[in-house]
């Protein structure tokens, strides 16, 4: 019986890679990839720094990006001996090499696999999406000569733990309600969370604590995550919870018209997700087609789309359009119009 494959654990993989480097175990090639932009950029820089060691980065580190280079350019740098250092590091960030197979890519792979490749050169590929996982380059990177660190979107609980660690490290305490509102506002994009947290802690400097009022004063809410929460509540016919989220957004100075626009956009996304899932497309393909985060598609959109069904989603979209016309005609205020929309969409008779 085949051994069950364990789910990928980013923290464990990062810890193992860190120990390898500390022990002086170096691979020839590295790939840092994944949807979480903050981790990918941070880990790509960290890895290049670790590999470079005490070497002069101006003389021993080279960066290639995009498509404005060739395999020969990379090979020429890779063959150059490091300058008063143990290793030369070549970083290839968001390049064409891990896209569809090309002759130029094959030329680089042939060199990477050859005896001519110097042990003193380390190639670090940093790529959000790896389009061609069956290609020769990816297979080389995943061989014994290579090492891969994937940076997936992190769970809400992981983000919460990460934020609390940074808050306490800076000597702050935080109210539970303040923490909950902060995470609601920022969502799970770690770069956004990091930037908002730095702003919040700077605002609270000297006080030793972070309060609900502080979060309301300086944190910019990520409206899309709250709209997801609102639609989830509507889908479960929890009108009071949906109205409470609406009130939170209003309190954070989000305009009713903007909230309606986001509701309409996300109902459109839900309908597209539902129709594509009905055609048998897997979540990753749906995310790619709609240019959405795969985690959001799998964990937020698909469950709601399946629970709602096409008919209810189409009805909700029609109600959004009517609401837009009603408040623009002056028959009702925008605030009341959106409130009425939420109650109507959450009514049990509207559920499929």
At 79-98, the pLDDT tens digits run 999 999 999 999 999 999 98
135 pLDDT exceeds 70?
yes
The Cα 300–Cα 232 span in angstroms is: 8
pLDDT at residue 300 in the model: 82
Q: Which residues of 329-352 are buried (b: 16+ CB within 10 A; e: fewer)?
A: eeeeebeebbbebbebbbeeebee
pLDDT at 121 over 90: yes
Confidence of residue 350 (pLDDT cuts 50, 70, 90): very low
8-state DSSP, 297: I
Q: Which residues does 192 contact at the CB level (< 8 Å), separation at least 6?
A: 186, 222
Q: What would the mean pLDDT of 128-152 be, rounded to a whole number?
A: 92
Does position 2 have pLDDT exceeding 70, yes or no? no
Q: Read off the pLDDT band of 1 (50, 70, 90).
A: very low
Q: Are β-strands 121-127 and 146-150 bridged in parallel, bridged antiparallel, or unpaired? A: unpaired
| CATH 3.40.50.300-classified regions of the chain | 25-150
Average pLDDT over residues 220-239: 84
Q: 63 pLDDT exceeds 80?
A: yes
Q: Share the mean pLDDT of the chain.
A: 90
Architecture of the CATH domain 223-350: Up-down Bundle (1.20)
Average of per-residue pLDDT across 50-77: 93
Evaluated on CA atoms 239, 243, 245, 249, the torsion sign reads positive
Residues 8 and 59: their CA atoms lie apart, in Å, by: 36
Q: How confident is the model at residue 351 (pLDDT cuts 50, 70, 90)?
A: very low
What residue spans in the chain does CATH classification 1.20.272.10 cover? 223-350
Q: How far apart are CA 174 and CA 211, in angstroms?
A: 6
Q: What is the CA radius of gyration of the chain?
A: 25
For 166-192, what is each residue's pLDDT tens digit? 999 999 999 998 998 888 778 778 998
User: Cα 291 vs. chain centroid, distance in angstroms?
Assistant: 12
| CB 193 within 8 Å of CB 161 | no
CB distance 345 to 317 below 8 Å: no
pLDDT band at 352 (very low <50, low <70, confident <90, very high): very low
CATH classification number, 156-218, choose in 1.10.940.10, 3.40.50.720, 1.10.8.60, 1.10.1740.10: 1.10.8.60
Residues of the chain with CATH 1.10.8.60: 156-218
Nearest partner of 151 among 300, 303, 295, 301, judged by Cα: 295
**Residue 101's pLDDT band (boundaries 50, 70, 90)?**
low
Task: Work out the pLDDT band at 5, boundaries 50, 70, 90.
Answer: low
Question: Which residues touch 156 (CB under 8 Å, ≥6 apart)?
Answer: 183, 188
Exposed, middle or buried: residue 252 (CB in 10 Å: 0-12, 13-18, 19+)? middle
Q: 299 pLDDT band (50/70/90 cuts)?
A: confident
28-47 pLDDT per residue, tens:
999 999 989 999 999 999 99
Q: What's the confidence (pLDDT) of residue 4?
A: 53
pLDDT (0 to 100) of residue 131: 81
Contact in structure between 221 and 252 (CB atoms under 8 Å): yes
Say if residues 313 and 305 touch (Cβ distance below 8 Å).
yes
CATH of 25-150, one of 3.10.580.10, 3.40.50.300, 3.40.640.10, 3.10.20.600: 3.40.50.300
- Using H for helix, E for strand and C for coil, what is the string for 165-185? HHHHHCCCEECHHHHHHHHHH
| Percent of the residues in the chain that have a pLDDT greater than 90, as a whole number | 68
CB of 347 closer than 8 Å to CB of 242: no
Secondary-structure breakdown of the chain: helix, strand, coil percentages, each rounded to the nearest 5: 60, 10, 30
**Structure confidence by residue, pLDDT tens digits, 156-171:** 889 999 999 999 999 9
Distance CA 86, CA 79 (A): 14
């Amino acid at each position: 019986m085949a051994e069950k494959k364990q789910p990928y654990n980013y923290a464990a993989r990062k810890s193992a890679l860190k120990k390898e480097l500390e022990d002086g175990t170096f691979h020839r090639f590295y790939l840092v990839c994944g949807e979480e932009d903050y981790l990918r950029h941070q880990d790509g820089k960290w890895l290049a720094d670790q590999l470079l060691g005490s070497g002069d980065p101006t003389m021993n580190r080279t960066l290639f990006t995009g498509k404005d280079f060739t395999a020969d350019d990379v090979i020429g740098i890779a063959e150059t001996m490091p300058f008063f250092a143990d290793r030369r590091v070549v970083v290839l960030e968001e390049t064409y090499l891990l896209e569809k197979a090309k002759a130029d890519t094959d030329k680089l792979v042939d060199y990477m696999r050859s005896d001519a490749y110097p042990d003193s050169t380390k190639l670090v590929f940093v790529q959000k999406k790896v389009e061609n996982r069956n290609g020769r380059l990816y297979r080389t990177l995943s061989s014994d000569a290579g090492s891969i660190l994937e940076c997936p979107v992190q769970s809400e609980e992981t983000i919460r733990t990460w934020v609390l660690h940074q808050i306490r490290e800076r000597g702050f305490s935080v109210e539970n309600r303040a923490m909950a509102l902060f995470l609601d506002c920022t969502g799970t994009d770690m770069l956004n969370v990091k930037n908002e947290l730095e702003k919040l802690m700077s605002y609270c400097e000297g006080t030793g604590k972070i309060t609900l009022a502080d979060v309301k004063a300086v944190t910019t809410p990520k409206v899309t995550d709250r709209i997801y929460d609102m639609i989830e509540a509507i889908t479960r016919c929890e009108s009071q919870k949906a109205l409470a989220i609406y009130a939170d957004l209003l309190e954070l100075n989000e305009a009713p018209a903007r909230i309606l626009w986001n509701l309409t956009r996300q109902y459109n996304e839900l309908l597209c997700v539902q129709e594509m899932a009905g055609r048998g497309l897997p979540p990753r393909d749906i995310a790619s087609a709609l240019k959405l985060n795969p985690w959001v598609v799998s964990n937020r959109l698909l469950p709601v789309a399946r629970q709602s069904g096409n008919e209810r989603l189409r009805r909700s979209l029609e109600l959004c359009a009517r609401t837009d016309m009603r408040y623009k005609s002056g028959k009702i205020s925008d605030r009341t119009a959106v409130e009425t929309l939420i109650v109507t969409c959450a009514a049990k008779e509207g559920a499929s």
